[in-house]
Amino acid sequence: MLNVSTRGRHIFSRISCYFSKNASTHSGSVQIRRLEVERKFLVTPVALSYLRSNGGGSKFKNYESLGKQTAHDTYYDRNNLLFSKGVYIRRRNGHWEAKIRTGGDFINSAFTEVDGKNAVKEVIEQNLTISADGLSIEEILEPCAEFVTERESWMMDGRFKVDVDTTDFGHIVGEVELTGTLPYANGEHTGEGEEREKQLKQKMDQDIKAFMQSYPQAFPAGRPLGKLSAYFHSLSSRM
């Protein structure tokens, strides 16, 4: 989200944390935290051809095409108050989502994701310190970005999800995603849980890095730019 390109192949990584309560057979005894780590990459014609053809056949250890999906995203803010806090509110295909930056930098970033209108309104209230009672999200915020993305996806080597996103304003960017889960027992010391989560994130990020380095033709060195950053850059260049 709104990443600023720096150096190297893996210019931007995003770590999203999902929370699912009471996910054990003993209700209320365990909480499952779903971790998602991803790194963006530059998409060249050679890289895209390699991904679509599996490097000409049997290059990846396992290769599964997941087809294409289309997303219509509208991002909302209020005088840049949310974006400046690392809070991103969007409506994707009519469904409300919030992404909250919880740490890291533009190379390795951590986000919590929230889904659903009511949950998103709570995020807005918390970050704008206002009451949203009786108001719709559209009455609280203003649209600031809108675009359509076609996503082509694959599952590689049995565990890495690879996406290539092409927007309707002509930008293309790729990302490699890896997910994992981390159980938390009720009463577990916060510091212990945070340390285990940190270690798992680092391991997942290292695995993605090693995977991408194993296939340099698919994931070339370059300076990728995220979709939202590219949108605002495109908008400013037309002004």
135-180 pLDDT tens trace = 999 999 999 999 999 999 999 999 999 999 999 999 999 999 888 7
The percentage of residues in the chain with a pLDDT greater than 90, rounded to a whole number, is: 51
Over 180-224, what HEC string results? Answer: EEEEEECCCCHHHHHHHHHHHHHHHHHHHHHHHHHCCCCCCCCCC
All domains of the chain in start order, with CATH: 13-237 (2.40.320.10)
With a cut of 90, say whether residue 13 has pLDDT above it: no
Lowest-confidence pick of 40-54, 120-134, 175-189: 175-189
Contact call for residues 15 and 180 (beta carbons, < 8 A): no
With a cut of 90, say whether residue 226 has pLDDT above it: no
Confidence of residue 10 (pLDDT cuts 50, 70, 90): very low
Q: Which residues of 113-138 are buried (b: 16+ CB within 10 A; e: fewer)?
A: bbeeeeebbebbeebbeeebeeeebe
Residue 47 or 6, more confident: 47
With a cut of 50, say whether residue 124 has pLDDT above it: yes
With a cut of 90, say whether residue 128 has pLDDT above it: yes
With a cut of 80, say whether residue 114 has pLDDT above it: yes
Beta strands 108-115; 13-20: pairing state: parallel
pLDDT, residue 134, reads 85
Helix (H, G, I), strand (E, B) or coil at 129: coil
pLDDT, residue 147, reads 97
pLDDT, residue 148, reads 98
Beta bridge partners of 13: 39, 108
Confidence of residue 16 (pLDDT cuts 50, 70, 90): very low
pLDDT, residue 89, reads 96
pLDDT, residue 11, reads 36
With a cut of 50, say whether residue 6 has pLDDT above it: no
pTM: 0.78
pLDDT, residue 218, reads 96
Confidence of residue 27 (pLDDT cuts 50, 70, 90): very low
Structure tokens at 107: 């190379």
Contact call for residues 221 and 9 (beta carbons, < 8 A): yes
Q: What is the pLDDT of residues 193-216, one digit of tens each?
A: 778 777 887 888 889 999 999 999
With a cut of 60, say whether residue 110 has pLDDT above it: no
Q: What is the pLDDT of residues 68-86, one digit of tens each?
A: 999 999 999 999 999 999 8
